[in-house]
C-alpha cells in the first residue's frame, strides 16, 4: 500500500535544506522518495498544508536500564552515581528484578517516542543477559534500538594484561546479540584490553566514554601518563566517543582528524557538575557531532530539551551562536551517519 504526503514543507537531505510544498512518498511503511513539487504517481494522498516535516530524532546515547533509579543519589557526583564498579547505579541494577527493569525501560522508550525520537543507541551493561533484557523490554515497539553491549569485566589501566578467557567469551556472547560494544572508559581498561575489544568487534560498532569529567581526565594522566582520548583513539579505535566535555583542543583535533564521531550529553553533564561540552569548537574543528541524553536516572530522554540547553549554554560559555540547522543535524542526520 502506498501513501503520499503532499503539500508539506520539508527539511530534506543531509544538510536539511528547506523545501516549500514538497511531498513524501511511502511504500510498504518505507519512504521511497521525497522532493519538492508534486508527486506524479498514484496512491492515497494526505494533505499536509501548514506542516513542517523533519527527520525523526535520534537519541545517540542512553543508559535506558537505569530508568528504575530516577534521581537516586541526586546530590552525589559522577563516580558515586554511575561508576561501573562501585556506583549506586550498579548496585541498583544488580538488586532489581528483571521484570521491573523491563517495565521501566519500556516506559522510558515510549516516552522517547512521544517526543519524536525514532531511534536510540544504548550502552547496555550486564553482558549477554543485559542485551537480551533490553530487546525483550522493547519488543513490538516501532522504534530502532542500536544495542551496544558490554562484558562484566574491568581492570587497572596500569596493568599490561589483556582480557581473561572468561571475559573474551562474555564479549563474544554479547556480540552475537548486540550491534556492537559500548565500553565504559579507558580508565577501567588496559591498553591491551582496549585493543582486544576492537579486534573482537570486527566490523561492528564500538563506542566509549571519554573526557567526561576533570577527575577522569586527571586519573588517566596520573595512572597511565596519557589522556583517555589518546588511549582510546590509539588502542580502541572507536566509531564514536561519548562526552568529550573536558577534552583539550589537541584532543578534539585528534578526534576530528581520525573522523571519529562525537556524541555530547549536555544536560547530564550539567546534572553531574562535569561541565559543558564545547560544541561550537567541536563543530569548528570538523567533528561529526550528535547528541544524547545519557542516563535516565540523571536526565529525562528529551532531545528538544538537550538542543535548547546546549544552544543557550554554548552562547554563554563559548560566546558563539550555534546555527539552529547545525543543532537539528546533531539530532538527526549526524547521528544517523555515526
Domains, the chain, with CATH or none: 2-53 (2.30.40.10), 57-337 (3.20.20.140)
pLDDT for 88 equals 77
pLDDT for 98 equals 94
Q: Please state the pTM of the whole predicted model.
A: 0.95
Name which residue leads in pLDDT, 138 or 84. 138
CA-CA-CA-CA torsion sign (210, 69, 152, 122): negative
Residues 73 and 92: their CA atoms lie apart, in Å, by 11
Average pLDDT on 185-192 reads: 96
pLDDT in tens, 310-334: 999 999 999 888 999 999 999 999 9
Phi/psi for 54 (5° steps) reads: -125, 165
- 55 pLDDT tier (thresholds 50, 70, 90): very high
pLDDT for 74 equals 65
pLDDT in tens, 223-261: 999 999 999 999 999 999 999 999 999 999 999 999 999
Query: 319 in helix, strand or coil?
Result: coil
Average pLDDT on 157-178 reads: 92
pLDDT for 80 equals 74
Residues 270 and 67: their CA atoms lie apart, in Å, by 18
pLDDT for 1 equals 59
CA-CA-CA-CA torsion sign (232, 157, 87, 198): positive
pLDDT in tens, 217-229: 999 999 999 999 9
- 215 pLDDT tier (thresholds 50, 70, 90): very high
**Mean pLDDT score across all residues of the chain:** 94
The helix or strand, by DSSP H or E, that contains position 2, with its residue range, turns out to be: strand 2-12
Name which residue leads in pLDDT, 11 or 71. 11
Q: Is 176 left (phi over 0), alpha (psi -120 to 50) or beta?
A: alpha
pLDDT for 101 equals 96
Grid cell in block for residue 336: 544517523
- 33 pLDDT tier (thresholds 50, 70, 90): very high
- 196 pLDDT tier (thresholds 50, 70, 90): very high
Average pLDDT on 156-181 reads: 92
Residues 7 and 10: their CA atoms lie apart, in Å, by 10
Amino acid at each position: 500500500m502506498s501513501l503520499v504526503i503532499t503539500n508539506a514543507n520539508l527539511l530534506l537531505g543531509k544538510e536539511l535544506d528547506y523545501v516549500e510544498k514538497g511531498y513524501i512518498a511511502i511504500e510498504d511503511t518505507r519512504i521511497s522518495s521525497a522532493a519538492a513539487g508534486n508527486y506524479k504517481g498514484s496512491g492515497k494522498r494526505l494533505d499536509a498544508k501548514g506542516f513542517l516535516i523533519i527527520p525523526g530524532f535520534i537519541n545517540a546515547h542512553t543508559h535506558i536500564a537505569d530508568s528504575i533509579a530516577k534521581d537516586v543519589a541526586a546530590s552525589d557526583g559522577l563516580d558515586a552515581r554511575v561508576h561501573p564498579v562501585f556506583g549506586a547505579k550498579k548496585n541498583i541494577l544488580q538488586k532489581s528484578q528483571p521484570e521491573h527493569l523491563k517495565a521501566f525501560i519500556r516506559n522510558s522508550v515510549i516516552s522517547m517516542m512521544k517526543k519524536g525520537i525514532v531511534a536510540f543507541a544504548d550502552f547496555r551493561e550486564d553482558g549477554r543477559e543485559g542485551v537480551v533484557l533490553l530487546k525483550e523490554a522493547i519488543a513490538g515497539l516501532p522504534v530502532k534500538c542500536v544495542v551496544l553491549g558490554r562484558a562484566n569485566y574491568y581492570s587497572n589501566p596500569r596493568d599490561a594484561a589483556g582480557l581473561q578467557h572468561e571475559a573474551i567469551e562474555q564479549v563474544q556472547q554479547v556480540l552475537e546479540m548486540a550491534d556492537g560494544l559500548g565500553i565504559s572508559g579507558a580508565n577501567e581498561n588496559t591498553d591491551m584490553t582496549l585493543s582486544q575489544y576492537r579486534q573482537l568487534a570486527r566490523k561492528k560498532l564500538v563506542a566509549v566514554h571519554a573526557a567526561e569529567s576533570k577527575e577522569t581526565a586527571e586519573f588517566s594522566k596520573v595512572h597511565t601518563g596519557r589522556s583517555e582520548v589518546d588511549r582510546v583513539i590509539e588502542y580502541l579505535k572507536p566509531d564514536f566517543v561519548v562526552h568529550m566535555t573536558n577534552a583539550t583542543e589537541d584532543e578534539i583535533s585528534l578526534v576530528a582528524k581520525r573522523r571519529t564521531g562525537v556524541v555530547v550529553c549536555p544536560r547530564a553533564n550539567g546534572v553531574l557538575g562535569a561541565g559543558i561540552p564545547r560544541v561550537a569548537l567541536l563543530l569548528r574543528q570538523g567533528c561529526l557531532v550528535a547528541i544524547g541524553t545519557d542516563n535516565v536516572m540523571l536526565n529525562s530522554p528529551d532531545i528538544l530539551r538537550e538542543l535548547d540547553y546546549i544552544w543557550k549554554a554554548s552562547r554563554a560559555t563559548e560566546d558563539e551562536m550555534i546555527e539552529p540547522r547545525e543543532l537539528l543535524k546533531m539530532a538527526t542526520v549526524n547521528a544517523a551517519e555515526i
